[in-house]
Structure 1
């Protein structure tokens, strides 16, 4: 059974005449007769019976017509939705990003893209998470594109650097280190640390920094999200090495520039290699890439 047979069957059921149905379908009458015969053979029942010069549905044909119409209607809805999602100037972009990018980076980027492309009717669907969750979702094709940390082992993904993320030491304003404006990581050794969980894409970078400094952090608490980490620092639960995110400006904390070791930390745009890209997604990806080239 194929899609053409369903269209042929429904058209014949509605016209009750082989010649008229064949004319509507732009096929020959023998081709229509053959298709209906094959359909009846597959279903092992007669769908039509002669009534004068016309044909009418049998009892079983009426049952099948109900489901055939329902199937074709569902298919038409699917076609319309797919075209809406992947149209030349319209569509949906499923975008995932890590927590640190939620306050400024992603909102500003998307807003500017939409402002510069007023002819596009694009709906963005946003998901926030850690890098491990985001990459898993990307590989499962839940997202079209993601902004996250790079995972070298993920060979099926393409990573492009799109932004540099500055790492700082964050302390509460009444902490002994708060009198400083800059610090070497070695100076943090005596103090309890609030650390990123193992699921965080940032944790390997922070661990590498401590290795370069030749010290082991005194991990007191582990947490996944940057804002919550900053809140714990403000509450005097410990100090933290974390990105200089906008939320720090609104908390009772002090940020200290790290003088040693100095390490570059990038945010990457991630996609599945070779995956089909609808027109509006292509335009968005090119827009992000061009922004980076201008820097």
Structure 2
């Protein structure tokens, strides 16, 4: 079994068509077919169901593809590490984060890191907590900025800081003149929140439950900017981290006295996966800023 056969298998599995796969790999279709047949003979199982010119992964192929993708990723990681060892201050670091974390502190840290290590390229992904978990498992991201995770058997998680959450209300809201509120005082207000799958939505539901009510969510957004604009327009209230750029004449930030609304922010990476020198450099840089 050769590395090239595994790569051919992966491309055929993704395209589900020998002709398109051959074009993508820049080889002849007969050569590709012979390679896949030889692989199947080596494994003593059929990996595809043939349907005319198209193919479909069968149960054996689906199982094998998962292993092949991990193996090829390990090989690519090894190639990248060898290349970066020539100069640990070059390379690419992929970082996934939820937008609400990015707004709070990430821009300043990225700016400082770029100033110190200008030849290290940062590749950024904004996503939901669930999607970020999948990116880490699939090695699409080296590191992520996430809240407390429930996947400790798969990921390493290092706490960076605690962050307070605040209630934001329209400037003409009945509580707008207050400095603080109990969350239960907003039980009958419409909420502007995040879509399910975002960590901030789970926290909103959790803290409202502690306050004794289920929030009446009238809009589900994907970013703080949209949520804050809708709050300032008077549609509802929200529970989010502190953010810059609010207009006091349109929106008001209130501290929550009960329950304590706070979240933990941490740095996560795939357990057992050796980070590239550049990713390890960035991980150390982030951690050192919170010691």
Structure with higher Rg: it is 1
Distance 1:158 1:254, change over 3 A: same
Equivalent positions of 1:242-261 (< 5 A) are 242-248=240-246, 252-261=250-259
TM-score by length of 1: 0.66
Q: Deviations over 1:186-217 (max 9, x none)?
A: 11012111122211112222222112111222
> How far apart, CA to CA, are the structure 1 residues paired with 2:230 and 2:256?
20
Q: Could you say what the CA RMSD is over the residues aligned between the two structures, in angstroms?
A: 2.6
User: What's 2:227 paired with?
Assistant: 229
The answer to whether residue 185 in structure 2 is matched with residue 187 in structure 1 is yes
Q: Deviations over 1:64-109 (max 9, x none)?
A: xxxxxxxxxxxxxx99876545642211101111112334522211
Aligned length: 217
Any conservation in 2 of the 1:149–1:202 contact (CA below 8 Å)?
Answer: no
Distance 1:79 1:177, change over 3 A: closer
The answer to whether residue 276 in structure 2 is matched with residue 278 in structure 1 is yes
Post-superposition offset of 1:261: 0.4
> How far apart, CA to CA, are the structure 2 residues paired with 1:154 and 1:228?
32
Post-superposition offset of 1:264: 2.8
User: What's 2:199 paired with?
Assistant: 201
Any conservation in 1 of the 2:155–2:270 contact (CA below 8 Å)?
Answer: yes
Residue range with higher mean Cα deviation, 251-260 or 84-93? 84-93
User: What's 2:265 paired with?
Assistant: 267
Any conservation in 1 of the 2:104–2:241 contact (CA below 8 Å)?
Answer: no
User: What's 1:174 paired with?
Assistant: 172
Unaligned runs of 5+ in 1: 4-77
Any conservation in 2 of the 1:233–1:239 contact (CA below 8 Å)?
Answer: yes
TM-score by length of 2: 0.67
What is the DSSP-based 3-state SS (H/G/I as helix, E as strand, rest coil) of the residue aligned with 1:246? coil
Distance 1:79 1:201, change over 3 A: closer
What is the DSSP-based 3-state SS (H/G/I as helix, E as strand, rest coil) of the residue aligned with 2:193? strand
What is the DSSP-based 3-state SS (H/G/I as helix, E as strand, rest coil) of the residue aligned with 2:199? coil
Unaligned runs of 5+ in 2: 4-76
Any conservation in 2 of the 1:199–1:224 contact (CA below 8 Å)?
Answer: no
> How far apart, CA to CA, are the structure 2 residues paired with 1:178 and 1:2?
67
Q: Deviations over 1:25-83 (max 9, x none)?
A: xxxxxxxxxxxxxxxxxxxxxxxxxxxxxxxxxxxxxxxxxxxxxxxxxxxxx998765
